Structure 1
Amino acid sequence: MIHPHRFKDQVMVVTGAAQGIGRGVALAAAGEGAQLVLADRSALVNEVAQEAAALGAQVVVAEVDLETFAGARSMVAQALECYGRIDILVNNVGGTIWAKPFQEYDEEQIEAEIRRSLFPTLWACRAVLPAMIEQRAGAIVNVSSIATRGIYRIPYSAAKGGVNALTASLALEHAQHGIRVNAVATGGTEAPPRKVPRNPQALSEQEQLWYAGIVEQTRSSSLMKRYGTIDEQVGAILFLASSEASYITGTVLPVGGGDQG
């Protein structure tokens, strides 16, 4: 924790908050005084809400499917009903489902990857904008990835490239409304095993080899030759969300040990 009161009296919406980086953002922000809306389609988000409340935060849980605009609108409506405003939106939903060469993906898998890693950010930004425009203030931090230049997950890479373009264009369009929009391009990140796996099917021997290729490429592309930690990603996300970054917008910050993506 850098500043115990950095987000005092600010309303922060965190998507994908049930585990991983989203959980890390939620708990760190709770410790720094934020009032929280934690969104996820997994009921596990309620456990994170309890952890955040134990740190003294006021917390609202939105169990929604952010692959749909209806889910994003419901999340924003719950936030506004409780707090009357939204100061910060952290878009964290996403993550590759399959690991294999592009020619091995079928049509349904490609569409599923785009729905998973682009649409939740797109929908959440669209849903929150009217409130931020009306209050003429707000900060959006999108979680992207250095995998925009990577192997064996091309649909995911394309989705995160879309997140980067969305970030730049929204920043240009809405700076006039006092809204800052930035992204953190996360590198490989060490995390506990997912409680809800993105792909529940066991990997075949060939798929394990392809996934090992991703790990090797990620480490070799990092100048530091390692994966990062959740805390290292959270620190960058919360910096861009905070007033310390008040003159930064339209930026994609790579946090990948020197890999620029």
Structure 2
Amino acid sequence: MSRSEDLTPPLPEQQQAVPGTLAEMNPRPDHGEDSYRGHERLAGKAAIITGGDSGIGRAVAIAFAREGADVLISYLNEEEDARDTARWVEQAGRRAVLVPGDIGDAGHCRAIVDKAVEAFGRVDVLVNNAAHQMTFETLEDIPDEEWERTFRTNIHAMFYLARAAVPHMREGGAIINTTSVNADMPKQTLLPYATTKGAIQNFTGGLSQLLAERGIRVNCVAPGPVWTPLIPSTMPPEQVREFGKSYPMGRAAQPAELAPVYVMLASDEASYVSGATVAVTGGKPIL
């Protein structure tokens, strides 16, 4: 049985505290630790990845390192997962820099970029991947603080990080933003999250035009359901049990199944790809 088949619902009912950890997930996600093979497509590049401790960010960090990139891993407070991701990066022969903290703070975003420049001398790729979500059954259930936190983490941070990183990026640089299938088909119980994902897609389209004359490309990836700690820590157990069932492939994606798209968008092979949304949705089309 493949790791993807492991995710065919029903999944074990489970729940964690936010933001969740890999150790408590059943089944354990596949980030490409044993499967991803690099081909020097990012040789010599330096990348920043937010939310790089687990999930999509961890899979991207592993893939980038095996493709030849040094990686700064930004994360909130998931120390054990982050150190493990760094270990995989270093096993690939690349440098890993760990930076904990809240990207909803503009000053911290500037500090992330400063640390990348100090360690690597430049920034070639910025992957804005970290996200926050929570489930709410009614509009009245959504506190002001939750709405504001979701926007600070999911969209404000992308602006802060891009503004800080671009002066250190050369022609050929790439910014990759993680949006979602929710940008096109918002799930009503994820209203704050889905709203920010629509904003990310619009931000990507505008920024790609703004930076085109500098030779910096900006794209976004729109995942469908992906098995990450965000799911059991932000969704009710009964929804976790059926996670991914409604998609044409009948299951959620492993994080490892997302990484090749980020590698392509970061590579020089995508030199004319900018302003695009790449859907990775298990067969469900987005407009």
Give the shorter-chain TM-score range.
Answer: 0.7 to 0.9
Contact 2:232/2:240 (<8 A) preserved:
no
1:146-165 equivalences in 2 (<5 Å)? 146-148=181-183, 149=185, 150-165=187-202
Is 235-244 or 99-108 further displaced after alignment? 99-108
* Residue among 215, 220, 223 paired with 2:248: 223
Structure 1 unpaired stretches of 5+: none
Matched residue, 1:119: 156
Bigger strand fraction: 1
SS in 2 for 1:157: helix
Establish whether residue 242 from structure 1 lines up as the match of residue 264 from structure 2: no
Cα–Cα, structure 1 residues 107 and 208, in superposed 2: closer, same or farther, change >3 Å?
A: farther
Equivalent position SS for 1:12: strand
Name structure 2 gaps, 5 residues minimum.
1-35
Closer, same or farther: CA 95–187 of 1 in aligned 2, 3 Å: farther
Matches within 5 A, 1:10-49: 10-42=45-77, 43-44=79-80, 45-49=82-86
8 Å CA contact 1:64, 1:74 repeated in 2 = no
Q: What is the match of residue 203 of structure 2?
A: 166
Q: 1:6 aligns with which of 17, 20, 41?
A: 41
Distance in 1, matches of 2:188 and 2:237, equals 14
Does the 8 Å CA contact 1:69/1:127 hold for their aligned counterparts? Answer: no
Structure 2 residue 89 is matched with structure 1 residue 52 = yes
Q: After the TM superposition, which segments of 4 or more aligned residues of structure 1 sit over 6 Å from their partners?
A: none
- How far 1:130 moved relative to its partner? 1.6
When the two structures are superposed, what TM-score results if normalisation uses the length of structure 2? Answer: 0.79
Q: Is the 8 A contact 1:96 1:198 kept in 2?
A: no
Partner SS state of residue 190, structure 1: coil
Q: Residue 240 of structure 1 aligns to which amino acid in structure 2? A: L
AA of the residue aligned to 1:4: H
- Structure 1 position 259 matched with structure 2 position 279: no
Quick one: higher RCO (CA 8 Å, sep 6+), 1 or 2? Answer: 2
Contact 2:55 2:227 in 1 (8 A): no
The residue matched to 1:51 in structure 2 has which SS? helix
1:33-80 CA-to-partner distances (Å, cap 9, x unmatched) read: 111111112233233212211221112222232111111110111111
Equivalent pairs, count: 247
Counterpart-to-counterpart distance in 1, 2:255 and 2:84? 18
Q: CA deviation at 1:179?
A: 0.4
Give how far 1:96 is off.
1.2
Residue equivalent to 2:127: 90
- After superposition, the Cα gap between the structure-2 partners of 1:68 and 1:197, relative to the gap in structure 1 and judged at 3 Å, is farther
Asked whether the 8 Å contact 1:189–1:228 carries over to 2, the reply is yes
TM-score by length of 1: 0.86
SS of residue matched to 1:142: strand
Would you say the 8 A contact 1:136–1:178 is kept in 2?
Answer: yes
Percent identical among aligned pairs is 30
Q: Could you tell me which amino acid in structure 1 is paired with residue 257 of structure 2?
A: E
CA 1:235–1:96 in 2, change beyond 3 Å: closer, same or farther? same
